Amino acid sequence: MSIDYGKKFEERFKLDWVNSTGGVIVRLYDNTSGYLSISNVSDYICYKYPNIFFIECKSHKGSSIPFSAITQYDKLIKFSNIFGVRSGVVLWLYEKDIVLYIPVSVIKQLKDIGEKSVGIRHLDKYDIIKIPSEKLRVFMKSDYSVLLSLKEGF
């Protein structure tokens, strides 16, 4: 039986965001009851002056995540070219003990060239940020303050 780290990782993200940035974070309504008509842009809306972040949290086994698992892509991409708005995925690759921030604009780039997933192999070639993290017993304690100095478009 596989272990589902998703919800616990979301809770850890919320705690680490507040502790490392001093910013505000709001969890959007989580539709786990199966109503297909309800769909949010992301898991969280985070704010730290002067930027707002639309963050989708994902945890995945292995060294990459397939784009098919990033179901909020179409909603996140709508916010990718707005000044002061950052939209992307915070991905915890739990077998590799690594946390990444993947801007939705990078996902678009990779999709445009025919890639089917995003992960560690793209770190040095694209504007993906490795989040400074410390391994705890299971989860990572992460410092999201590195996201506060992102250049426009990320």
CATH of the domain at 16: 3.40.1350.10
pLDDT for residue 1: 36
Dihedral angle sign, alpha carbons of residues 120, 30, 104, 73: positive
In a domain, 1, yes or no: no
For the stretch 98-151, pLDDT in tens is: 999 999 999 999 999 999 999 999 999 999 999 999 998 888 999 999 999 887
Confidence of residue 22 (pLDDT cuts 50, 70, 90): very high
Q: Is residue 35 part of a domain?
A: yes
* Mode of pairing for the β-strands spanning 129-130 and 98-103: antiparallel
Q: What is the 3-state secondary structure (H, E, C) of the chain?
A: CCCCCHHHHHHHHHHHHHHHHCCEEEECCCCCCCCCCCCCCCCEEEEECCEEEEEEEEEECCCEEEHHHCCCHHHHHHHCCCCCEEEEEEEEECCCCEEEEEEHHHHHHHHHCCCCEEEHHHCCCCCCEECCEEECCCCEEECHHHHHHCCCCC
If one counts the domains in the chain, the total is 1
Say if 90 falls within a structural domain: yes
Give the mean model confidence (pLDDT) for residues 43-50.
95
Instruction: Please give the residue range of the domain that contains residue 122.
Output: 6-149
- Mean pLDDT within 40-48: 94
Asked whether residue 55 is domain-assigned, the answer is: yes
Is the entire prediction scored with pTM above 0.85? yes
pLDDT at 90 over 90: yes
Mean pLDDT of the chain: 90
- Is 42 contained in some domain? yes
Tell me whether residue 43 is in a domain: yes
**Domain assignment present for 154:** no
pLDDT at 5: 80
For residue 28, is it within any domain? yes
